[in-house]
Amino acid sequence: MVKILIRWIMVFFRIIPINSNKIVFSAFSGRFYGDNPKYIAEYIVKHKLPYNCVFVLENPKSESVPKEITVVKYNSIRYLYEMATAKVWIDNTRKQPHILKRKGQFYFQTWHGTISLKRAERDVERNLAESYVKTAINDSKNIDTLLVTNDWGEEYFKQFFWYSGPILKCGSPRLDLLFDYDLKLVDIIKQKIGVKKTEKIVLYSPTFRRDSSLKVYNIDYKLLKRSLEKRFGGEWKVIIKLHPNIKQLKLEIPQDVIDVTQYSDMTELYLISDFMITDYSSTMFDFSVLGKAAVLYASDVEEYMNDRDFVFNINELPYPLAQNNSELEAIITNFDEERYKMNLINFQRRVGLREDGKGAETIMNYITEKIRSSV
């Protein structure tokens, strides 16, 4: 009943002309002010481009958003109005099937991962709810252009995304920050999360399991810190960011480990971190764009492969794999930076990575041209 009502409301709003200067942004279905949509919106504000930016959030008061960007509540009447009258939609996840796209509107989909280790969408259709598959197929039909940040992804995204339309290959707006930032920002972010300026940071960023199990996140944090200090020197701090799908679960961690799961901007965490540990998350590919070291820690490789399977051979990635704490200690204490960087460069060449710090600029030039040509 609610979905039908929403559709009728959107149909009613069609009597209002489309605003050629309005762009509506959404990240993770309104859960965060972040990812690619945030960085495109802030590029528009910074460069004073002639667009009215509207950002959709479940809790508009939960995030600090620049005053130049209008914030509306997700699934509100105002949200439906903005969606119905905006020239452009920019999103990083699927849109609800009852959100109706008008003729003349342009939907740019950025997605939220550059390269994927684990299979997703159509590749794991057997594991997806029928309702999600229908939503995904409907969403892909509405997309006018899909962002892909590497040559490898051009064919793979078309395969698993139920998509055969235009693709724009360029850098990820959310990673632009890693190429151009003020050093003072590092100190500001560290202060926000409670880390000393002099401390080095290891970011632990694992993905979720379908059963929401926490038993796989069993890192020995004391041993981890000792290993890092032994190999790289300095004083280290561990920060943990859980996947949004399990952010509500309570993971027991030592008092000196900082839980940054609620911190919405992952790129800022990349920026301040010196080392990453993850498992099957695509964060490894993002984090290492500028050559930063990442190691995989996963005690359930076989089990996970049976559930999701991998696009790449996990043992052929540039990131060393540890399946228990002893192996993790050995990998860190014997970490060969030169070999790691050589393997990383070879992998990035293999996939044809396009990250250059100009993702938002390229996308806005593209969208502006599309708007001009449609007028």
Q: Where are the alpha helices (DSSP H) in 86-206?
A: 130-142, 151-160, 183-193
Question: CA–CA separation, 48 vs 308, rounded Å?
Answer: 44
Question: CA–CA separation, 28 vs 41, rounded Å?
Answer: 15
Burial class of residue 298 in the structure, from the number of CB atoms within 10 Å of its CB (0-12 exposed, 13-18 middle, 19+ buried): buried
pLDDT reported for residue 375: 62
Q: With CA atoms as reference, report the closest residue to 52 among 27, 12, 22, 26.
A: 22
Written as tens digits, the pLDDT of the chain (375 aa) is 677 788 888 888 889 999 999 999 999 999 889 999 999 999 999 999 999 999 999 998 878 899 999 999 999 999 999 999 999 999 999 999 889 999 999 999 999 887 888 888 888 888 889 999 999 999 999 999 999 999 998 888 888 899 999 999 999 999 999 999 998 999 999 999 999 999 999 999 998 887 777 888 899 999 999 999 999 999 999 999 987 777 666 778 888 999 999 898 999 999 999 999 999 999 999 999 989 999 999 999 998 888 888 999 999 999 999 999 999 999 999 999 999 999 999 999 999 999 999 999 999 999 999 999 886
